[in-house]
Structure formats: C-alpha cells, structure tokens
Structure 1
C-alpha cells in the first residue's frame, strides 16, 4: 500500500501508534509507514524528558512524571520532528544560513562552514548552562538537586542523513513538557477524575500537588527554552505559556453572553474586587455586547469568534509556535516560516474542534476521560453553537452555563436535532484543508507525506 492510500485508510490512533513504535525503520517500512522516519526520536522522548525534570524530592518526581508514564498522543513533538525532517529538504542556498547555529551542525554536511549565528548568546550548546554552575547549584553545591544545573547527557550530534538538529530535538521535548503541565493544571480546574485511561493527577495526588507539579514542569521547560539560545524561539515558546493562561480565563467566562463579573468559588459567587486605579485594567474586547443590544445572528457570530480565539490560545498557539520555531531553527526563509506557523495554527484549530466534537460522540473508555464533560462544565463549544444558530432559545441555557436541572439534556438533544456534530465536522475539515495547503510550500518528501497523513487522520480519530 502506498503513502497516498495510507492517508485515506489509517485512523489517527493507528497513525500516532505507528509513529511511536520503538523499532528503527527498515527501508521498506519507512516507505510504507512514513511515521517510522522519526520512531527513534519518539521512542527516546520520555527518557530524555525524565533527565530534565528530576528533583531532589521523590514525591515531586513521581507527580511530575505521572502523565509521561501513560500512553499519550505525543502529537506536538511528532509535529516538531517530522517538520524538522521535512525542512531539511529545502536546498541550503534557499535558506538563511546566518540563522543556523553552527554549534548544531559543526563539521557536518550540508552545512559545513556555516557562519556562527548572530542569534547565539552566551555559552555553547543546549546541554550547557548559561549561568555559572555554582550559582545554579544553590546553597549546597555538593548536593545537585537540579539536573539542569549540571552537565546532562549530551544530545546526539547532527546526523546529516536524519536531518534533525539537536535544538529541534530539544524543542520537541520542551513542547511536550509545556503541554503536560497544562494538562495537570486543566484537570485541577475542570475537576477531572480521569486522564489517559487512569485517575487524573489531581485525583491520584491531590489538587495542590498537581498544580505544583505543573508549575515545576514549566520551570524546567523555561530553563531548557533559554538554553536554545535563539531569541525568537525563546519569545515564541514563552508566549505559548502565557497564551495557555489567557485561553483558560476565556474558557472560565465561556462566551460573550456571560456578562457577570462574579467569580464562582466552589459554588459561592464572589464579585471581582474593584480596581484601585493604580494599575490600568483593560476590559476584554469581547465583553461589550449583550443579547439585548444586538440581533441573534450578531451574537452567534461573536460567540464563534470568541470560541475560535479561545481555541487558538488553549491549543493552536502551542502547535503554531512550535512549528514556526522548528522552521526558524532550520534557517528557512520568511515565507516558509510563515507557512509553518499557519500550518500549526490550522492543524491546532482542527485538532481541538475535533476534540470538542468527540465530547459529544465518544464513550468514556474511547477517549480516556469523561465524555460529554463540556456541557457539564458549562462550556459552549462548536456543536452547541451551531445548534444555537438555529434555535435562539438556547442562548438562555448557554448564558447560564447549563447549570439548571435538565439544561444539559436539552442542549444535547438540540445538538442532535440540528446536526451540530456534523456541522462541527465540516468546520474541522476546512481547517484541515488549509493546513494541507500550508505544507505545499515544503519540498516533496516522505516527511511531508507523513505530516499530510497526520493532518488527514485527525479528522478520523476517535480519541
């Protein structure tokens, strides 16, 4: 079976599982299963992350590594690795050679003789500290509790046949750490009880430990980000962390219909403290309209805009900026860098929209977490917004976050009757097609075919 046929037959689960096989590809397997092109890097992902997140506290180590133990999708590092390999096919003369760090590729073809990048600051490789080790060691330099403050196992040198730079490998590890930290925090916020088919971190270890472990992962990731020594990449990845928080705050409000400034604290509504005026507080641009001010169509359009903005911040921001970062590290020209960003953005939106659709169609066992959780949490995602477009009376349920008895059942029935799931699927397909279009800026290769396969399979995934 050829690559083109695979795109239409492999499910998302099969595609990702193939990528995570722990065997090195044979020449035949690499043609039939392009995901095996990066199977070696994927198989070492968890081990590499473990070497970066260890601490001197056994319980903290246990909580921090908890989600890495379970079988996850690992989509984000997979994107970094495949995209990095695809970018290798761009001829050297079509790249900005001064943007490539010669510490990554010294004495290696096709980059031999590449001048030192002007973006490199202090220190050497991603494995070396920037600050003096005596400072990073802390109070007792004889007890090194921080693996990032001592020499780590060096990353493999650049392999011209594989085409993935050491900094791109480290980028894959960083983005998975950021994503996992967000899962720990999200499960506390959403009061989840399951993740990846077993008790969520907040249930297994308590809310406090889960939050602290998420913070710890972000701290470790931040050090690793700095050691990439590329200002734009540092800026991109640091912004994704802020975006995750911004998106979560948008989700707490839920939609443009929720005009209340009260905070729900365990069932108790508390007003937001009035600002003193010492620090200017900007009101969110989405909060200017209410159902009484405008017509139904305008409200629905505003709600979809809010939903997509929130979705970008919570999911697509990390995918888009990691894709751009991989392109920046490769020395790609501006048009390629922009298309890589757009690819990640469209793929991320497609991914989350499908995730919201699965919340209405999958069982608990299928997705590894409680199904139909969004309505129970009061979240208005694409399926219910499409139903609201046809049934204005649903606006009242959305505005009160489905908290009255029977609201969840009424909303679910409306989604079924208005084909909300199918309309959501079509929306996801549109972003899928855009993402595929973005990939065409890259030369044809097995790695690009693998990215196309992954993009298509997102639409057919069941978990």
Structure 2
C-alpha cells in the first residue's frame, strides 16, 4: 500500500519548511504554551491538511512558484486543526493521541484549553495578516463549524434516532469543513476563476467526508496500536458513527445496549459483535468510496500536473487504509 507521505512528493520540501515554521509561529513568550505547542507539533501525524493546501496551491500555480501567503495558509490550516484536537481530547477525556500523551494528560485541562484557545487566536491573527477578506471569511467559518460540530456531537450522544444525514452534517462540521474551505482558500490565493474555486471546495468537502468515514470504520476494525487510541472508543463514549447507524437498521437489540449506555458488564463487547455481524461496516465502506469518487470528479477542471495527480492519489489512499 502506498503511504500518505510518499504521495506528498511534489510538496515534500514545502512540508519541511512548514514543520520548521510551526513552532516558531507560536513564539516563546509563554513557556508552558510553547512547551505544549512543541509537544503537539513534534507528535508528527501525516500533515495531510497542510499537504492538500500546498498541493492545491502548486496545482493552481503551474507557471509560477507558490507565494508566502500560500505557505502561511498551510500553516494556519495545521494550527486550526491542532487547536481543535487539543479541545476534542479534553472533551473526550482522551489520554493518548497519535500514540503519544495528550496535552491535557501532561499539562492538565486548564492549560490544554488555554493552549487550544491560544492556537485558534494565533491562527486568526496570521489569517488576518493575509489581507484577503474572502480567505479570512472561509477560515473563520471553519472555526465556527468546528465548534458547531462538537456541540452537535455532544447533543446526539447515545441517540439511536440519529440519521445518516445528521451524521454526515456533523461530520462535515467536525472534519470536512477544514479540507473544503482551506482548499478553496488556496485556489483564491492563486486567483483561480470562481467556478474552479467552488470545485476545489467540493474536492475538499467530499475528501473530508470520505476521510472521516474511513476513520470511523477503523474505530471498529483496527487495533489500539494502529489507531493511537482504544478501538471502539467512539461507540463507548456514545458517538454513533456510520457503521453503528447502519447496523442499527439490522440489529434491534443494539438499540437497547446503546440506550442503556453499556451499563451492564459485556454490553460493549456484545454491541461490537453485533456491528461486526451486520452490513454496517460494508455499507460505510461504500459511503466512503462514493465521497472519494465525487472528490476526484471535482478535480476535472484542474490542469494536469504532479500535484494534481497527487490530489487524486490521496483520495485513493484514504480508501486503501481499509484494506
């Protein structure tokens, strides 16, 4: 299977510059926040969000090099994503992220929340300094969407009446909005026509949905070591994702287990077994494949290039993580 990082070849040097810049952008005026940021950005991860911003930038600037504003947008995208993870980990009480301790488990909830807020504020300040009102609006919308998605998820905990449409709506807010709006923003910085900018938004939106649906499937099919968090943790916390919602249509007893919030010994294990015995995972795979296909279709208006091909390959890679 091709790794994500090997598909980033057209922007490998750009990603190294980004990695070097991220911690510097935080500044060391606040020692604890700096330590938290250093821990976060040092934890690695695939950097798939800034990679897509850089690939879109290069795919839409074929005759010229990308600008410092494109690079800064990629950095802002990673800062916003990282800030949202810090807050999510506090809400979810997660002790581990990407196989390393979370900020709140190392520094406490108060510092973690302040670190997340600080990253959002820093991202907003750098965003304003791009001097592009449309781009400011797009990325500001992302920050609002992330909060909306987290609230929606909280309100729907253990709610077996949640529809697939509601799930996809929440998934857009929590995961796809950043891919969608940062892809469009990269196009706007390249001064692409408005129709192409909308296609870039469509690519990011559907890619983001496919990406998150695959993550939600892996919560049931991967080991704790692979995930960097306990397998089945979403279900245990009452976050009902696509495999569960599809399985509920086939397995009535699953509803009872969820509604009593796995209160009895063996409830969670029984629920996981029911999901495995249903079409929930297969139907979720088909849903992810649909969104990955639509994402690639949105790239048809982009001229051929190595970066354009990499954007297609990444959509294929997302699905290949399931096999």
TM-score range, shorter chain: over 0.9
2:38 paired with 1:72: no
Higher helix share: 2
Query: Aligned partners of 1:68, 1:403: CA distance in 2, in Å?
Result: 38
SS class of match (1:44): helix
Query: Aligned partners of 2:221, 2:254: CA distance in 1, in Å?
Result: 20
Please name the residue that 1:338 is paired with.
Answer: 198
Please name the residue that 2:233 is paired with.
Answer: 373
Question: Given the superposition, is the C-alpha separation of residues 462 and 391 from structure 1 closer, same or farther in structure 2, using an over 3 Å criterion?
Answer: closer
2:124 paired with 1:219: no
Query: Aligned partners of 2:272, 2:309: CA distance in 1, in Å?
Result: 38
- Could you tell me whether the CA contact under 8 Å between 2:214 and 2:322 is conserved in 1? no
Residue 4 (structure 2) aligned to one of 3, 9, 15: 15
- Structure 2 runs not aligned, ≥5 long: none
Question: Given the superposition, is the C-alpha separation of residues 382 and 342 from structure 1 closer, same or farther in structure 2, using an over 3 Å criterion?
Answer: same
Task: Give the 5 Å matches for 1:441-456.
Answer: 441-456=301-316
- Could you tell me whether the CA contact under 8 Å between 2:158 and 2:239 is conserved in 1? no
Equivalent residues, number: 323
**CA shift for structure 1 position 255:** 5.8
2:310 paired with 1:321: no
Question: Given the superposition, is the C-alpha separation of residues 60 and 257 from structure 1 closer, same or farther in structure 2, using an over 3 Å criterion?
Answer: closer
Query: Aligned partners of 1:200, 1:378: CA distance in 2, in Å?
Result: 21
Query: Aligned partners of 1:401, 1:251: CA distance in 2, in Å?
Result: 16
2:260 paired with 1:358: no
Query: Aligned partners of 2:143, 2:263: CA distance in 1, in Å?
Result: 30
2:77 paired with 1:175: yes
TM-score norm. by structure 1 comes to 0.67
2:247 paired with 1:387: yes
- Could you tell me whether the CA contact under 8 Å between 1:378 and 1:403 is conserved in 2? no
- Could you tell me whether the CA contact under 8 Å between 1:194 and 1:369 is conserved in 2? yes
- Structure 1 runs not aligned, ≥5 long: 1-8, 20-34, 90-109, 111-159, 259-298
Query: Aligned partners of 1:247, 1:344: CA distance in 2, in Å?
Result: 17
**CA shift for structure 1 position 401:** 4.1
Question: Given the superposition, is the C-alpha separation of residues 320 and 57 from structure 1 closer, same or farther in structure 2, using an over 3 Å criterion?
Answer: same
C-alpha RMSD of matched pairs (Å):
1.8
2:74 paired with 1:85: no
**CA shift for structure 1 position 411:** 1.6
**CA shift for structure 1 position 344:** 0.3
**CA shift for structure 1 position 332:** 1.0
Please name the residue that 1:208 is paired with.
Answer: 110
- Higher Cα Rg, which structure: 1
Please name the residue that 2:283 is paired with.
Answer: 423
- Could you tell me whether the CA contact under 8 Å between 2:54 and 2:74 is conserved in 1? yes
Task: Give the 5 Å matches for 1:221-300.
Answer: 221-254=123-156, 257=159, 299=161
**CA shift for structure 1 position 403:** 4.3
Query: Aligned partners of 2:76, 2:309: CA distance in 1, in Å?
Result: 25
Residue 95 (structure 2) aligned to one of 193, 196, 199: 193
Please name the residue that 1:436 is paired with.
Answer: 296
**CA shift for structure 1 position 358:** 0.5
Question: Given the superposition, is the C-alpha separation of residues 254 and 400 from structure 1 closer, same or farther in structure 2, using an over 3 Å criterion?
Answer: farther
**CA shift for structure 1 position 462:** 6.3
TM-score norm. by structure 2 comes to 0.95
Please name the residue that 1:125 is paired with.
Answer: none
